[in-house]
């Protein structure tokens, strides 16, 4: 068993213990439909989560969005944000970053499907002061695997007791934001 296999197994165990009504996992054909609509491939670990754990509904606090469907979904949120970012002077959403979790108040966690580890980014639009949106993008975790490990350990910045811990790692400025937003990629 690889480290990734072990991680997916632990996520599945936690997801099942957190919820009695997890949606069924999706199959490869469903993922292919989602990727065709997105116009990009999902990060491999993200695809495995949807294929082997559940079709959303697990993870930190507000839980992962479904890939497709009515209401808020990974595909729907991504397409809406990308459409609003094409051909404008100050794009808001970079290509390849799929929103996976809505924190509320317009804040999203997203996986950068163009990065090898699937870095997890935080989009926090509330400090936006006009001009470039790069000030609204933060690196939450260098990889999706590390983000999941933080959730499994109960050590995320979003945990209720987070402010009282001395080892808290908060999201940092995403140094690639300006380049990724200006390039459209």
Q: How many residues does the chain have?
A: 185
Residue 35 contacts by C-beta under 8 Å, 6 or more apart in sequence? 41, 42
Instruction: Categorize the per-residue pLDDT at 164 as very low, low, confident or very high, splitting at 50, 70 and 90.
Output: low
CB 93 within 8 A of CB 81: yes
Task: Say which CATH number the domain at 67 has.
Answer: 3.40.1580.10
Q: Could you give the count of Cα atoms lying within 13 Å of 22 in the half-sphere of its Cβ?
A: 24
Q: Is residue 162 part of a domain?
A: no
Distances (CA, A) of 130 to 61, 76, 95, 125: 30, 25, 21, 11
Q: Is residue 67 part of a domain?
A: yes
Instruction: Categorize the per-residue pLDDT at 134 as very low, low, confident or very high, splitting at 50, 70 and 90.
Output: very high
Terminal C-alpha separation, the chain: 35
Query: What are 137's strand-pairing partners?
Result: 123
Q: What domain range includes position 90?
A: 3-154+167-183
Q: Is residue 159 part of a domain?
A: no
CB 33 within 8 A of CB 68: yes
Summarize pLDDT for 146-158 with one digit per residue, the tens. Answer: 999 999 998 888 8
Q: Is residue 161 part of a domain?
A: no
Q: Is residue 160 part of a domain?
A: no
The Cβ of residue 49 has, within 10 Å, a number of other Cβ atoms equal to 27
Spatial separation of the C-alpha atoms in residues 143 and 120, rounded to whole Å: 6
Query: How many domains does the structure of the chain reveal?
Result: 1
pLDDT, residue 169, reads 76
Summarize pLDDT for 21-67 with one digit per residue, the tens. Answer: 999 999 999 999 999 999 999 999 999 999 999 999 999 988 999 99
Spatial separation of the C-alpha atoms in residues 157 and 118, rounded to whole Å: 19
Q: Is residue 91 part of a domain?
A: yes
Query: What are 108's strand-pairing partners?
Result: 102, 123
Output the average pLDDT for the chain: 93
Q: Is residue 140 part of a domain?
A: yes
Summarize pLDDT for 57-95 with one digit per residue, the tens. Answer: 999 988 999 999 888 999 999 999 999 998 899 999 999
Instruction: Categorize the per-residue pLDDT at 184 as very low, low, confident or very high, splitting at 50, 70 and 90.
Output: low
pTM across the whole model: 0.94
Q: Kindly state the tokens that stand for 121.
A: 């980014």
pLDDT, residue 2, reads 87
Query: By CB neighbour count within 10 A (0-12 exposed, 13-18 middle, 19+ buried), where does 130 fall?
Result: exposed
Q: Is residue 110 part of a domain?
A: yes
């Amino acid at each position: 068993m690889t480290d990734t296999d072990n991680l997916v197994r632990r996520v599945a165990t936690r997801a099942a213990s957190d919820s009695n009504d997890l949606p069924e996992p999706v199959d490869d054909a469903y993922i292919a439909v989602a990727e065709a609509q997105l116009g990009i491939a999902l990060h491999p670990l993200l695809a495995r989560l949807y294929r082997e754990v559940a079709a959303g509904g697990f993870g930190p606090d507000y839980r992962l969005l479904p890939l497709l469907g009515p209401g808020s979904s990974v595909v729907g949120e991504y397409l809406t944000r990308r459409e609003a970012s094409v051909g404008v002077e100050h794009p808001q959403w970079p290509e390849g970053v799929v929103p996976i979790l809505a924190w509320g108040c317009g804040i999203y966690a997203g996986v950068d499907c163009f990065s090898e580890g699937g870095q997890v980014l935080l989009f926090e639009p509330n400090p936006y002061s006009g001009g470039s949106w790069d000030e609204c993008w933060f690196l939450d975790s260098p990889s999706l695997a590390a983000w999941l490990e933080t959730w499994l350990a109960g050590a995320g910045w979003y945990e209720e007791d987070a402010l009282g811990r001395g080892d808290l790692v908060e999201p940092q400025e995403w140094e690639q934001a300006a380049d990724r937003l200006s390039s459209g990629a």
